Each structure stands twice: as structure tokens, then as C-alpha cells.
Structure 1
């Protein structure tokens, strides 16, 4: 069953450039993962610095395999350290 993953981050202006580099690395790796369909990155219009990534996967198992992979974990730790907070994830399924 296909799922959508919502990934939320608060990004201060002074950290946006460094984060952009890490996100590009993550996106490049993600596109080669089994079950990955597509993704998009949005910035909230009325709250600057609030970002949302919507990632589409063929299954929750595909997403889980990617989220715990060593290559992803290494980059995600750098992101959380840079932002000083944990990234939030929400998994939604189609009904």
C-alpha cells in the first residue's frame, strides 16, 4: 500500500544554505531507494523557515528500510545537529 511521508523542519535563515547542501545529498540517495516514488519540498508561505517534505513510497516497509539505513542516518544526524532539533516524521496511507 502506497504511503506519504511528511517531514517537517524549522530552518533558521542563517542555517538554510548549509541545510540545502545536506538535503541535496539526501535527495540524491533517496531517488535510488527501492520503493521510492517521488518527493517535493515546500516552504510555508505564512511562516518563513517552516519547511515540509512530502515523500511518496510504494510501502511503509520501503520507507522504514530507507529511514534506518546507515547512509540516510549519517546525513540525518548532521541535519538534526545543524538545526538543533529532531526532524518530525508523519506517515499517512491512502484510504
Structure 2
């Protein structure tokens, strides 16, 4: 079942351009991963240094493999240095959730 991953990051105000660059790098690497469907970056109207990234994956296993990959970890570490606070990640099923039997 498809999932959407919502990641909110609040960059230091003087590092937002560097943040955009790293997010583009992260997205480019993610698009090559099995299970990646799409990605979108939204910029807060009231806080332009606050970004919401929405990525869509065919299933949670694809996301988990990407999250555990060395490439993602390397870029994420560089992003972390530019943040005011820790990123917040939430995962949502698209449509009705699978039964526990389907997840096994």
C-alpha cells in the first residue's frame, strides 16, 4: 500500500539557500530508489525558512530502505547542521490502512 512521508524542517534563517540545495540533492538521490513515486517541497508563507517535504512511496518497505541507506544518512547529516531544531517525520497510508495480516 502506498504511503506519504511528511517531513518538516526549520532551517536557520541564514542557511536556507544551502538547505534548498541539499534538499534537491536528497530528492535527486531518492528518485533513483526502488519504490519512490514522487516528491514535493512546500515553503511556509509565514515562515519561509520552514519547509514541508511530501514524498510518496509505493510501500513502506521502499521508504525504510531509503531511510536506512548510507546516501540518505550522509545527506541528512549535512542537512541537520543547517536546522534550528530536529526534523519531524510522519508517515501516512494513502487510503485505507492495510490489515495486520497484509503487513506480515
RMSD (Å), alpha carbons: 1.2
Give the drift of 1:93: 0.3
- 1:62 aligns to what? 62
- 2:5 aligns to what? 5
- 1:78 aligns to what? 78
Instruction: After superposition, give the CA deviation of every residue in 1:25-54 in whole Å (9 maximum; x if it has no partner).
Output: 111101100000001000112333221000
Give the Cα–Cα distance (whole angstroms) in 2 for the partners of residues 33 and 50 of structure 1: 26
Are the aligned partners of 2:11 and 2:82 in contact in 1 as well (CA < 8 Å)? Answer: no
Give the drift of 1:86: 2.2
Runs of 4 or more above 2 Å deviation = none
Give the Cα–Cα distance (whole angstroms) in 2 for the partners of residues 51 and 21 of structure 1: 13
Give the Cα–Cα distance (whole angstroms) in 2 for the partners of residues 88 and 38 of structure 1: 19
Give the Cα–Cα distance (whole angstroms) in 1 for the partners of residues 82 and 39 of structure 2: 22
Structure 1 stretches lacking a partner, 5+ long? none
The change in CA–CA distance for 1:12 and 1:84 in structure 2 (over 3 A counts) is closer
Q: TM-score, normalised by structure 1?
A: 0.92
Give the Cα–Cα distance (whole angstroms) in 2 for the partners of residues 8 and 74 of structure 1: 18
